[in-house]
Amino acid sequence: MSTQVNALKIRNTTKEDIPLILQFIKEIAEFEKLSHEVITTEKILMESLFGDKKSAEVVIGEHGDQPVGYAIFFHNFSTFLGKKGLYLEDLFVRPQYRCKGFGKTLLLHLVKIAKERGCGRVEWSVLNWNTPAIEFYESLGAKPMDEWTVYRLDEAAISRLSV
């Protein structure tokens, strides 16, 4: 699937995009001040995105011949709706390409995918300090789920608890 709006071409990724995807992951981690948490490799991404049991999908936004942003997403499930949802893990536009509508175009592309796939909702998390992102999402009609707190078991906890 490919979409072009606001001079942004959005395309699905291929195995050849693995180095670019990893670069985008490192760039968003730096922006979020979380670079120290990035441990993924090209090999891990290859298996996770293109292996037999792929766990996520990625689209790339290009302006001319320049990759300017990406979105990585996967399906979750709502027991209350009885339908799958689309979970947006990362939406990132390189700083020099922001405020041109490219982030909105990427997000609306995912909304279109969610509708085509019969999803009941689209969800994502935002760091509390990321005011520009929060304002952007709210301008589109997204609502914070203030009554929910995200909990996480990291890999060490999973190992400890699975014995």
* DSSP-H helix ranges across the chain: 18-31, 42-50, 102-116, 131-139, 155-161
Cite the active site residues.
137
Token pair in block for residue 110: 């995912």
Q: Is the pLDDT at 10 greater than 70, yes or no?
A: yes
Q: Is the pLDDT at 4 greater than 50, yes or no?
A: no
What confidence category does residue 5 fall into, taking pLDDT thresholds of 50, 70 and 90? very low
Point out the least confidently predicted range of 20-24, 56-60, 61-65, 150-154.
150-154
Looking at 3.10.350.10, 3.40.630.30, 3.40.50.300, 3.40.50.720, the CATH number of the domain 2-161 comes to 3.40.630.30
What confidence category does residue 6 fall into, taking pLDDT thresholds of 50, 70 and 90? low
Q: What is the mean pLDDT of the chain?
A: 94
Q: Is the pLDDT at 3 greater than 90, yes or no?
A: no
Q: Is the pLDDT at 149 greater than 70, yes or no?
A: yes
Compute the distance between CA of residue 62 and CA of residue 143 in angstroms, rounded to an integer.
28
Residue type, 15: K
- Please compute the mean of the pLDDT values over residues 20-36 and round it to a whole number: 97
Which pLDDT belongs to residue 1? 56
Compute the distance between CA of residue 34 and CA of residue 62 in angstroms, rounded to an integer.
25
Q: Is the pLDDT at 135 greater than 70, yes or no?
A: yes
For residue 95, count CB atoms less than 10 angstroms from its CB and return exposed for 0-12, middle for 13-18, buried for 19 or more: exposed
Percent of the chain with pLDDT over 90: 88
3-state secondary structure 76-98: EEECCCCEEEEEEEEEEECHHHC
Contact 118, 84 (CB under 8 A): yes
pLDDT tens digits, one per residue of 37-90: 999 999 999 999 999 999 999 999 999 999 999 999 999 999 999 999 999 999
Sheet holding 122-124, edge to edge: 2-5, 8-12, 57-63, 66-78, 83-93, 122-124
Compute the distance between CA of residue 2 and CA of residue 55 in angstroms, rounded to an integer.
21
Distance of CA 41 to the CA centre of its chain: 17
